Amino acid sequence: AKADGYFLSSTTSATIEFWFKPTINHTNESSKEYLWQYYKDNQNYIRAILEGDGTVSYRLQKQQQKWNIKTTQNVWSANQWYHIA
């Protein structure tokens, strides 16, 4: 994704990566937690969420287009760093 003056453009491929370190053990019985997000409005945003089922999901929405990706890992140990790309 690239900056297009106000938000992300879906015309270019890209990699989103980040590190995170949970403060508690997170499993498939945990509550949802936002890891990070860029929110322009309810039609234009990108975010990463530690979901209640234990997976990490990315969601990108630009206007009416939506993209969702989820990890297969669903258990994350407290005080351990994880890299997602």
> pLDDT tens-digit profile of 6-59?
455 556 677 788 899 988 888 877 788 889 888 888 888 889 999 988 899 988
Query: Which candidate, 23, 39, 33, places its Cα nearest to that of 55?
Result: 33
The predicted pLDDT at position 3 comes to: 44
Strand partners, 44: 41, 62
The predicted pLDDT at position 7 comes to: 54
d(CA 49, CA 37): 9
